[in-house]
Chain A
Amino acid sequence: MSESLRKQAGRRDLEPERPLPASRFPLPASGHFAERAGIDRRKFLLAAGGAAGSLFLAACDSFGPKKAKPILQFAERKNESLERVLYRHSSMNVPRASAGTTGGAFPSYFVSPQVPVWDESVRGAWRLEVAGLVKTPMKLSLDDLSSLPRTGYRLDHFCVEGWTAVATRQGVRLSDLARLVGAQPQAKYVDFQSFDDDYHESWDIESAMHPQTLVVYAQDGRYLNAAYGAPARIYSPVKLGYKNTKYLTRILFLPERNGGYWSDQGYEWYGGV
């Protein structure tokens, strides 16, 4: 709103010397402020449009007021509590019959500049370390994993971006692995760490022990390729894609949550589906 318009629109700002513009419809003094201030249709529309427009532009593509951050974090904590109430071990993901297996069209995300590949000549043989609050920490080779009871599901993948895809995942139930290493009751959280730079994501133990939470080493019937997280990755439909660490190196049972690559940057830590 321009200064002159503001002056005319606000009754208190009117200069007493200046005569009011004549109204097309002379009204008694008890008229609406619009007539007393002499606002005609054009001025009214300009003023209203200007005010609405500036408000609108102020909001455009904005991160929102910084002061709102504690409120947003409060809402995230409350949402997590609700999501943990809604969580059921018994709820199982079954992709719709009409959904085809996505196959090679399945996107492959990683945070390193190139596809992370475990170079045995530099880093030695790959082992999955299962440690933390466990009775017997273990280092498992891919052969060890393959020899453990195999579980497979055809599962939806829910990406935080809004897309979904379907793949068959085969591997070891994390709950089986937890029994094998003797995870202790104090372990309320699990951290999944990788060799994709410092990518990791920590989970609540309930989600980690879901029957569809798998240490996956095969997708659609073949061992994982490098794009999809070889040699092994965590996968569960109870979590959004970014919570499912690929290129696994270590599974740590922890008493406290340990953040995560994306959760530390502003995405929800819980990331439940």
Chain B
Amino acid sequence: MKRHHAVVRVTHWVNVVALTIMVGSGLRIFNAYPAFARKGETFCCYPFAQKPIPASLTFGGWLAGARNWHFAMMWVLVVNGLVYLGFIYLHGEWRDLVPRRGILRDSWEMVKFYLFVRKDHPHQGKNNALQRLTYFAMPIVGIAAVVTGIAIWKPMQLSGLTNALGGYVWARYFHFWAMLVLVVLSVAHIFMVFTVDPYSIPAMITGRYRESWSPEARNARPLIHLLPKHDRTPRV
């Protein structure tokens, strides 16, 4: 039994590439005007106006290059996202992702476990409560990024959408926030994969995964009990 279906594995890695390029090129575009206010006005809600993002975090080389990458890669992101969402809807994987009753209580138990307040790993199925919340939020924030992106791509021809988001300035601000949330969730995800369950990396490539090495079986916290437990049951 594979842990992840091939469609999920492929769309995951396509998404890694697409999202990385979208964020990098988006930050390069942002650096052409690293602020949100209309010219001659001030904007309430961004304290770092006129401070560009470090160039090392950007992609595309210059504004036109970044725009060309952004407007090409957006199709990969959207089509890949639709394939993924369509697949998990039809194939049933959505059941592993939608929050269940008590998700907040279960998340709190996970937080307590990671903070050493609780000794034993809470019982979990495929994903723990925090993963469930994260993986459920990612597509939603992704959709928000796409919608706000369309609103600032076509603020004239699709002005209804742009106005519904509060106009171009706010739509651009929300687009930035959607990117920020996606980056924070992704960085947290990558950190937890490497420090808690690195065995899920091959599982996302080949699909193979051992339940006996799961974080629950190892009682694993970040960087603690990283190696699999020795199987102490006598062999017959």
Give A residues with C-beta under 8 Å from B.
Answer: 24-28, 32, 34-35, 40-41, 44-45, 48, 59-64, 68, 71-72, 74-76, 78-79, 83, 86-88, 91, 93-94, 96, 98-100, 102-107, 156, 158-166, 237-238, 262, 265-268, 272-273
Contact between A91 and B29 (Cβ–Cβ < 8 Å)? no
Chain A residues whose CB sits within 8 angstroms of the CB of B13 once the complex forms: none
Contact between A62 and B227 (Cβ–Cβ < 8 Å)? no
Chain A residues whose CB sits within 8 angstroms of the CB of B55 once the complex forms: 60-61
How many B residues are at the interface, by size bracket?
35 or more
Contact between B154 and A86 (Cβ–Cβ < 8 Å)? yes
Q: How does the 8 Å CB contact mask read for B47-63 relative to A, with 1 for contact and 0 for none?
A: 00000000111111111
A267 in contact with B159 given A162-B33, A162-B172, A166-B38 (CB within 8 Å) = no
In angstroms, Cα B210 to Cα A163, docked, is: 52
Contact between A75 and B168 (Cβ–Cβ < 8 Å)? no
Contact between A107 and B39 (Cβ–Cβ < 8 Å)? yes
Chain A residues whose CB sits within 8 angstroms of the CB of B69 once the complex forms: 64, 68, 72
Contact between A106 and B39 (Cβ–Cβ < 8 Å)? yes
| Chain A, Cβ-Cβ closest to B150 | A86
Q: Give min CB distance, A34 to chain B, whole Å.
A: 8
Partner of B40, one of A71, A102, A237: A102
Q: How does the 8 Å CB contact mask read for B209-236 relative to A, with 1 for contact and 0 for none?
A: 0100100000000010011111100010
A164 in contact with B63 given A103-B40, A107-B39 (CB within 8 Å) = no
Q: Give min CB distance, A269 to chain B, whole Å.
A: 11
Chain B residues whose CB sits within 8 angstroms of the CB of A266 once the complex forms: 62, 64-65, 68
In angstroms, Cα B230 to Cα A161, docked, is: 58
Contact between B32 and A160 (Cβ–Cβ < 8 Å)? yes
In angstroms, Cα B39 to Cα A102, docked, is: 6
Chain A residues whose CB sits within 8 angstroms of the CB of B35 once the complex forms: 163
Q: Give min CB distance, B79 to chain A, whole Å.
A: 12
Whether B89 is near chain A, meaning CB under 8 Å from some CB there, is no
Contact between A63 and B61 (Cβ–Cβ < 8 Å)? yes
| Chain B, Cβ-Cβ closest to A39 | B227
Contact between A60 and B39 (Cβ–Cβ < 8 Å)? no
Chain A residues whose CB sits within 8 angstroms of the CB of B230 once the complex forms: 25-27
Contact between A32 and B199 (Cβ–Cβ < 8 Å)? yes
Contact between B228 and A72 (Cβ–Cβ < 8 Å)? no
Contact between B75 and A61 (Cβ–Cβ < 8 Å)? no
